[in-house]
Amino acid sequence: MDLNYSPEDREFRAETRRWLQANAPRQELKTLEDRRGWHRKLYDRGFIGMGWPKEYGGQNAGPMRQAIVADELARANAPAAINALGISIVGPTIIVHGTEAQKQRYLKKILTAEELWCQLYSEPNAGSDLASLKTSAEDRGDHFIVNGQKIWTSGGVIADWGLLLARTDTRVPKHKGISCFLLHMRQPGVEVRPLRQITGSAEFSEVFMTNARVEKSDLIGRLGQGWQIAQTTLSYERGGNSLARVTRYAGAFGQLLKAARTLRRGDRPLLDDPVVRAKIGRIYAELEVQRYAALRILSALEKGESPGAASSVTKLSYSEFEKRYYELVEEILGPYGQLMVPLAEDDVAVDVDTSSGSRGTWAHAFLWSRAGTIYAGSSEIQKNVIGERVLGLPKETRADRVKAGEAS
């Protein structure tokens, strides 16, 4: 065991920090063009698609370097890169499963954010049971015609393209009849409606596809291979950002301490109240454990180990922690914790970073914390995965498996 960063990694971190101090925007980027501009700057510096192979425009950087850059971005409160799904999911999917022509056509523009991407997976009736999705893609010779509805599409409003899962065969068991496509979002058959969440903002959207067209050359992999492809892409969504996430929690913790020193109960600051101290001590211990666990994962990734199903433990751990964390903050801050707009004369720190990467109040962060245990596989799904694939517990009897068995 040696948990020290190597001298090279320390130097890389210092360089990254210096560059961010000189270049990171000082305020929130309001327009899409400003956000593209910042993205482009990060790209030119080699901070976008760092893990991608060099031949496709990446840096072939190891997990530690990627984690350090993400961590420093979080520490600097820098705005997030704009094409996150394109870079973390769509690009790697094309690299692994795409044709040479697809790679030439799409990869560079994902990296530069010239084309923005979204992911068209979940449907109103296919959430945790994603494989039951109904959106259809019908083979019309040189193209497919797509009909159906997607939901929970991050960045749907600004996306130029979407990575689509659609059913191409209804006669086979559900996991086998799904194919994966690249869908052009800027066409008459695609309608995007922003979906307002409990936070009041609309990071997600609903996407309606009515006789939308997908070229045959935009099928990824083989017909019927979509589920398998989605499984690999889903696992790109877990694990990598763990250090940066903890750094954001720690930044918010600093704000919490500040507030607990400022607010008073009776004749003393909240921070001197033994009940509050016990709560703060507990949550800080949990936060530190998140950090240790992140280092452990990073160390395994650096050695080329693939966490596989064990990454479900990580996702379950941080998302459940995040809910407990902000519930506790709410308990300590009382109604201050519910302010959606910071006070004009603000002597109580109510302005924090949320895990979504944008600035907001505690209330915003608290509301956001409800998302993590649902997206990218709910806690219940993660526990099923852990039970079956990590602990080797028997599979449950499922109505759909029974039916599929009868049909075959």
Partner 1 sequence: MNFAFTDDQQLLKNSARTFLDAHCPSTLVRSLAEDPRGESDTLWKEMTELGWLGLALPEPYGGSGLGMVETAIVLEELGRVAYPGPYVSTILAASVIADAGTSAQKEKWLSAIATGTARAAVAFLDADLDWNPEAVATRAERAGSGWRLSGTKRFVPWAHVADALLIPARTSDGLGLFVVPASAPGISLAPMAAIDASTRWVNVKLDGVSVGGDAVLGAPGGATPLLEAALRRGAVGAAAGMLGAARRCLEMSVDYAKVREQFGQLIGSFQAIRHKCAEMLLEVENAHAATYYAAWAIDAGADDAAMAASVAKSYVGDASRKVCGEAIQVHGGIGFTWEYDLHLYFKHAKALETMYGDADHHRELIVRLVAA
> Rounded to the nearest whole angstrom, what is the least distance from the CB of residue 272 to partner 1 in the complex?
10
Sequence-distant (≥ 6) Cβ neighbours of residue 191 within 8 angstroms: 207, 208, 209, 210
| Count of all residues that appear for the chain in the document | 408
Binders in 168-227 for partner 1, by CB under 8 A: none
DSSP 3-state of 258? helix
Q: Quick one: DSSP state of residue 115?
A: S
Member of 8, 292, 341, 346 binding partner 1 (CB under 8 A): 292
Smallest distance from the beta carbon of 390 to partner 1, in angstroms?
Answer: 7
Cα 327 to Cα 333: distance, rounded to the nearest angstrom: 10
In this chain, which stretch among 156-164, 210-218, 228-236, 309-317 interacts with partner 1, using CB under 8 A?
309-317
Is residue 322 part of the annotated active site? The answer reads: no
Q: Does residue 387 bind partner 1 (CB under 8 A)? A: yes
Among the residue ranges 5-13, 28-36, 39-47, 154-162, the one whose residues contact partner 1 (CB under 8 A): 5-13
41 contacts 100 by C-beta, under 8 angstroms: no
- CA-based angle 321:322:326, to the nearest 5? 120
Query: Binding of partner 1 at residue 265 (CB under 8 A)?
Result: no
What minimum distance in Å lies between the beta carbon of 316 and partner 1? Answer: 6
C-alpha to C-alpha distance for 250 and 245, rounded to whole angstroms = 9
> Does 278 sit near partner 1 (CB under 8 A)?
yes
Task: Tell me if residue 170 falls in helix, strand or coil.
Answer: coil
Report d(CA 81, CA 106) in Å as an integer: 18
Check binding of 370 to partner 1 (CB under 8 A): no
> Does 327 engage in binding with partner 1 (CB under 8 A)?
no
For tokens 């507990």, the residue is: 282
Instruction: Note whether 5 and 14 are within 8 A (CB).
Output: no
Report in angstroms how near the CB of residue 389 gets to partner 1 at its nearest.
Answer: 10
Cβ atoms of 204 and 235 within 8 Å: the answer is: no
Interface with partner 1, residue 383, by CB under 8 A: yes
Is residue 303 a contact point for partner 1 (CB under 8 A)? Answer: yes
Local structure of 325: helix, strand or coil: helix
Piece of the chain touching partner 1 by CB under 8 A; list 128-136, 151-159, 329-337, 379-387 = 379-387
Instruction: Name the helix (H) or strand (E) containing 294.
Output: helix 274-302
Among 74, 165, 298, 333, binds partner 1 (CB under 8 A): 298
Nearest-approach distance from CB 1 to partner 1, in angstroms: 5
Calculate helix-pair angle for 242-262, 311-333, nearest 10 degrees.
10
Count of chain residues binding partner 1 (CB under 8 A) = 49
Catalytic-labelled residue, pool 11, 114, 191, 237: 237
Q: Which tokens in the block code for residue 342?
A: 């910071």
In the list 19, 208, 284, 375, the residue contacting partner 1 (rule: CB under 8 A) is 284
Binding interface with partner 1 (CB under 8 A) = 1-6, 9, 64, 253, 257, 261, 271, 277-278, 280-282, 284-286, 288-289, 292-293, 295-296, 298-300, 302-303, 313, 316-317, 380, 382-384, 386-388, 390-397
Query: Looking at the annotation, which residues are catalytic?
Result: 237
